[in-house]
Structure formats: C-alpha cells, structure tokens
Amino acid sequence: MQPFSETFDATHNILCVLPLPNEGRFDWSSITDHIRARVAEGILNLELDLGRMPHIDSVGLGLIVGYNLTLQRAGGTFRLLVERQSPVHKIIQLMKMHLLVTVIETGT
C-alpha cells in the first residue's frame, strides 16, 4: 500500500497528495520521491492535504519548505490544506509557516 493517495485535476494541472499514516507514522521519503517524479513529469501545481494528520514532526515541516521552494523555482505553486481546528494547523501557525506557504483552511 502506498503511504499516500493522490488526485489529479488535469484541467488545472493540480496534483493533490494526501499522506496516509502507517502504524501512526508517515513515510515522508516515499511521498517526497513521488512528488519529485511528478514534478519531473511537468506537474508544477501541488496541494498537500494534511487533513488526516494528527501531528507533524520536524521532518514534515522541513519537507513542506522544500516542496514549496522546489515548485516555486520550477514556476509552479504549492499549497497546504489543513483543518482549521487541528493540532497541525496550530503548529503551522506557531512556526509561522503560513507566511512562507499558502495555507488553505478546511473543515468547520
């Protein structure tokens, strides 16, 4: 089983990646490899959906910055989808990541 699911909007050339936990952990290296491959294919607009993540660690935060830089340099866009009331949203706000990356708040 892949450590993520994805949807692709061909009309707008947007790839949405949803990390999936495996025993409470996230396989960031597989997700990163997949994103790099998709960028190499010419997909330059990425949304990372953190809606199912109960937490995010320093590795995940660092990769978010890296994904954003990679896509900006390639002329693309990067957005985070985060549930408004989640602990991940609070961490994103606390670390001021919303100043670096476009954050789309989801949920109620």
Helices (H), 16-105: 28-40, 58-73, 87-94
pLDDT in tens, 76-104: 999 999 999 999 999 999 999 999 999 99
- Sequence-separated (6 or more) residues with CB below 8 Å from residue 58: none
> Where exactly are the structural domains of the chain?
4-106
- Is pLDDT at 1 greater than 70 in this prediction? no
Residue 100 per-residue DSSP state: T
Instruction: Give the type of residue at 38.
Output: R
Q: pLDDT band for position 4 (50/70/90)?
A: confident
Fold for 4-106, please state it. Transcription Regulator spoIIAA (3.30.750)
Residue 25 pLDDT: 72
Output helix, strand, coil percentages for the chain, rounded to the nearest 5.
Answer: 35, 30, 35
Residues 8-60: tens digit of each pLDDT: 999 988 999 988 877 667 788 888 998 889 999 999 999 999 988 888 889 88
pLDDT band at 107 (very low <50, low <70, confident <90, very high): confident
Cα distance between residue 33 and residue 47, in whole Å: 16
Q: What are phi and psi of 16, to 5 degrees?
A: -110, 120
